[in-house]
Amino acid sequence: MKANEAPDKLYLDATSKCGDTIFTIKNNDTDIEYTRTDAFIEKACEWLRTHSEADYFELIPDANYCGAGNLNKKRMIEDFRKYMEW
């Protein structure tokens, strides 16, 4: 991390009574995760740059015309969600 660069994520210890215990590494499952907005947006843009609808287009078997198919939005959204969990 550069001197003037904030980390992409911060974790707040949810069990801390003072609420001032902040980490850059997740320590336990109860930690609250905060993500920098610009880091989140950049990650979403990267996924969109590297994926296309063609990756999720599924042909309909035995269709009456060539190239009939559907966009598998459910799989596309699930892949996007997994990618964003970083």
Helices (H), 1-86: 37-50, 73-84
Residues 82 and 61 in one domain: yes
Residues 61 and 29 in one domain: no
Residues 74 and 41 in one domain: yes
Give the model's pLDDT for residue 29: 80
Residues 50 and 82 in one domain: yes
3-state secondary structure of 79: helix
Provide the number of structural domains found in the chain: 2
Query: 14 pLDDT exceeds 80?
Result: no
- Looking at per-residue pLDDT, the higher value among 4 and 23 belongs to 23
Residues 11 and 46 in one domain: no
- Which residue range(s) make up the domain with 75? 37-86
How much is the mean pLDDT over the chain?
83
Q: Which residue has the tokens 């843009």?
A: 45
Residues 31 and 66 in one domain: no
Q: What is the tens place of the pLDDT at every residue in 39-68? A: 899 999 999 999 998 999 988 777 566 767
Q: What angle do helix axes 73-84 and 37-50 make, rounded to 10 degrees?
A: 140
